[in-house]
Chains A and B, each alone.
Chain A
């Protein structure tokens, strides 16, 4: 029995929708809702978290992210310029650095900075205990951002450099005023990505130890969850991450559109 192509396609699609709705319905019906609510949505526990979950946990998460991002960005620019340098040893160093810190888990780097550096070399990073953790994050972020920035710089047409140099601008000024500003707009999407990754990676700082006032969101939530024996705080922490990341990615998308227009 011949069915017309479009008819057959419609029937298949309908069947897929039906299956999807059925799976959701079964899941919803078989869930023990009071138990879920009891585990994740206890209002008295939620209320009890304020203001610390904001004034300590979220604040520290944001603060650590900003420090690591700024440090990583500066280091990344430096490494990118080294990698594009005409001087061989600079290039080799940057390449080696990037391979090392991109290839090794961030946790291992943080651990190494936090414990091995003081023991092996007698170097103590200031602002203990988070200082060494932040330094580790910066070192790793710098490696990732260096590659992003290098790609951004190389995406700027060579004619831009030539025009700038022809006007008598030095290589440094050309980089600062002509190449980097244009390279950065190309890097907005990957940089947003980098920021979000860093925001989440601040949770790795606990490995070098923490104090009550230095807790960030994940550790705060973990400790509160085990103290209360309830997962409500975990859900709250997850929400707070999203409260930061979703507007940020929206803003980056807006920025990208706006800059694209002046191109």
Chain B
């Protein structure tokens, strides 16, 4: 169901509890002549952990980045909690506060302390007071195991710590869902575990998650569904234990034989 702007003029007030967290319909995206997404349709229901795998250049990051409109789709529909976010009436900034995003390169603000990173948007966007924001920030730092690093600058943290701070920064906005764009790909191998552990905890708490990843172990153990993409299309999807162990499609088989 598509939400229509309410008489009050604020379509965001019309969240439908029954609607899927994310619903994508026939999404296309081209960069110039090059079509990166060739008609993607998928649904992520509340509480699901959907892992997107596939070779590089398959469009999986572009798909994820379309969900919070970091990439503007060429055509198609994206519904977040039942609301068509491509509707020009919709305030994209407000939609984004509901969607946490974690990047491969962390993208912490280097000129602010850890606490500053976590409080900025809480105060500037959600209008929380400083003390309120600090409380929320500390709670989330404790959750990712970095309660003692709130005064550090990002440059003084390891990659794994930076990524956990980035997760805590997103969580501090109390999002309804989280998007992860290859969150462990830029990390030294020994630091990957801590980040995956935090993500596993989040999943167990019922957070709706969409994860682009190369971590097949994580997809298998934590994912409620896995989507295999190649050449801008969804080739195969299903239960991770099933798809990763016995892929039906030749392209999935070829990919998995290389990475597993």
Q: Chain A residues in contact with chain B, CB under 8 A?
A: 157, 159-160, 162-170, 173, 177-178, 181-182, 185, 261-263
Contacts and interface: CB of A to CB of B under 8 A. Distances in A.
Contact of B111 (A163, A165, A262): A262
Nearest to B166: A163
B217 interface: no
Given A159-B103, A159-B105, A159-B107, A169 B153 contact: no
8 contacts: A159-B105, A159-B107, A163-B101, A163-B103, A167-B120, A168-B93, A169-B120, A262-B153
B93 A263 contact: no
A160 B124 contact: no
A177 B124 contact: yes
A8 B151 CA distance: 57
Interface of B: 68, 70, 93-94, 96-97, 99-101, 103, 105, 107-111, 120-121, 124-126, 153, 155, 166, 169-170, 173
Contacts of A166: 68, 70, 96, 99-101, 170
A164 B103 CA distance: 12
B120 A160 contact: no
B103 A169 contact: no
The 7 closest A-B pairs by CB, nearest first: A168-B97, A167-B121, A163-B107, A166-B101, A159-B107, A168-B125, A168-B96
A186 to B, nearest CB: 11
B210 to A, nearest CB: 13
Contacts of B68: 166
A121 to B, nearest CB: 43
Contacts of A170: 93
Contact of B70 (A157, A165, A181, A182): A165
B94 A168 contact: yes
A215 to B, nearest CB: 41
Contacts of A169: 93, 120-121, 124-125
B107 A160 contact: yes
A173 B109 CA distance: 14
A160 B111 CA distance: 11
A167 B155 contact: no
Contact of B173 (A164, A168, A178, A181): A168
**Chain B CB within 10 A, most for which of A160, A162, A167:** A167
Contacts of A163: 101, 103, 107-109, 166
B96 A165 contact: yes
B109 to A, nearest CB: 6
Contacts of B153: 262-263
Contacts of B101: 162-163, 166
A173 B124 contact: yes
Nearest to A170: B93
**Chain B CB within 10 A, most for which of A159, A163, A168:** A168
Given A162-B70, A262-B153, A263-B155, A167 B110 contact: no
**Chain B CB within 10 A, most for which of A163, A165, A181, A263:** A163
A163 B181 CA distance: 12
Given A166-B96, A169-B124, A182 B107 contact: no
Contacts of B97: 167-168
Contacts of B120: 167, 169, 177-178
Given A162-B70, A178-B109, A262-B153, 18 more contacts: A160-B109, A162-B101, A162-B103, A163-B103, A167-B97, A167-B121, A167-B170, A168-B96, A168-B126, A169-B93, A169-B121, A173-B124, A177-B124, A182-B109, A182-B110, A185-B111, A261-B155, A263-B153
A46 B100 CA distance: 68
